[in-house]
């Protein structure tokens, strides 16, 4: 099991450019999440999905879009990159929040700089 | 609203000293989770507490959940350099909300 895999690991964008951060998991988890982590800060929830075809906004969704066409994949799209989106992005997954001792499994992150 | 507050923001200790980080909420928590993030790494789940007054131990780590389920703590006994990193508390196992974390520095 690879767990949660994110690509790319690093990326530099110019203001106004677009890109997609890829996330895939091989644990057959229903729930997937995108978080961003600014330097020295905690994680803020951007979007989440409870299953294929179902997505919803988290705490900080502005400037981002997501889709969930399969159980495995949950890409995050930045349409018009802005300096405020410079951050480390983490994808995470879990089987079911109702399960005992349920926990989040995180990918290794994507470090994004918008200049 | 649903935020969890963590203190302190940073802690510098000498190797062998103890360390404690605290997590507080203004509302009752259904559960509290703790994660550790090594420098340059990703958060890794440590434990979940659910019951009022619950205490759990993992080797040198002791986790407590308050009687009112509004606060929690993580205590590390006799820190080691391998304990370096940021410790996050988080509320909920769905749309999990994270505290800002306590960054632990350990001097050998």
Burial class (CB in 10 A: 0-12, 13-18, 19+), A48: buried
| Polymer length of chain A | 115
Whether the bond into A49 is cis, omega within 30 of 0: no
pLDDT beyond 90 at B64: yes
Q: Which residue has the tokens 């999440």?
A: A33
Q: Tens of pLDDT along B15-46? A: 999 999 999 999 999 999 999 999 999 999 99
Burial of residue B86, with CB atoms counted within 10 A of its CB: 0-12 exposed, 13-18 middle, 19 or more buried = buried
- Tens place of pLDDT for every residue, chain A, 115 residues? 789 999 999 999 999 999 999 999 999 999 999 999 998 788 999 999 999 999 999 999 999 999 999 999 999 999 899 999 999 999 999 987 666 567 899 999 999 999 9
Confidence of residue B94 (pLDDT cuts 50, 70, 90): confident
The answer to whether the beta carbons of residues B21 and B6 sit under 8 Å apart is: yes
Local confidence band at B60 (pLDDT 50, 70, 90 cut-offs): very high
Give me the mean pLDDT over the B47-56 stretch.
95
- Check if B7 contacts A (Cβ < 8 Å): no
Among A7, A63, A60, residue whose Cα is nearest residue A36: A60
Q: Using a CB-CB distance cutoff of 8 angstroms, which residues of chain B are in contact with residue A94?
A: 93
Q: How many angstroms separate the CA atoms of A87 and A109, rounded?
A: 10
Residue B106 has pLDDT above 90, yes or no: yes
Taking CA atoms, A34 is separated from A27, A45, A93, B7, in Å, by 17, 6, 9, 25
Give phi and psi for B83, each to the nearest 5: -80, -5
CB-CB under 8 Å, B43 with A101 = no
The chain A residue lying nearest B43, using CA atoms, is A106
- Contacts with B35 from chain A: Cβ below 8 Å: 104
pLDDT band at B59 (very low <50, low <70, confident <90, very high): very high
**Chain B contacts of A106, Cβ < 8 Å?**
42-44
Within 8 A of A48 by CB-CB distance, chain B residues are: 95
**Which pLDDT belongs to residue A34?**
98
pLDDT value at position A98? Answer: 64
CB spacing of A42 vs B93 below 8 angstroms: no
């Amino acid at each position: 099991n690879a767990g949660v895999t994110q690509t790319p690991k690093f990326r530099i964008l110019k203001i106004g450019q677009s890109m997609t951060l890829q996330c895939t998991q091989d644990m057959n988890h229903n729930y997937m999440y995108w978080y961003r982590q600014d330097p020295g800060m905690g994680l803020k929830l951007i979007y989440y999905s409870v299953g294929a075809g179902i997505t919803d906004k988290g705490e900080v969704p502005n400037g981002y879009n997501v889709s969930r066409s399969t159980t495995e994949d949950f890409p995050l799209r930045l349409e018009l990159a802005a300096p405020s989106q410079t951050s480390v992005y983490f994808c995470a997954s879990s089987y079911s929040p109702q399960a005992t001792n349920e926990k989040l499994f995180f990918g290794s992150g994507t470090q994004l700089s918008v200049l | 609203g649903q935020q969890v507050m963590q203190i302190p923001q940073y802690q510098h200790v000498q190797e062998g000293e103890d360390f404690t980080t605290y997590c507080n909420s203004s509302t009752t928590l259904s559960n509290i989770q703790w994660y550790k993030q090594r420098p340059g790494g990703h958060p890794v789940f440590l434990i979940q507490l659910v019951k009022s007054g619950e205490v759990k131990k993992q080797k040198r780590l002791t986790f407590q959940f308050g009687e009112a389920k509004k606060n929690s703590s993580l205590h590390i006994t006799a820190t080691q350099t391998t304990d370096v990193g940021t410790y996050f508390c988080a509320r909920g196992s769905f749309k999990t909300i994270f505290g800002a974390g306590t960054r632990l520095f350990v001097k050998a």
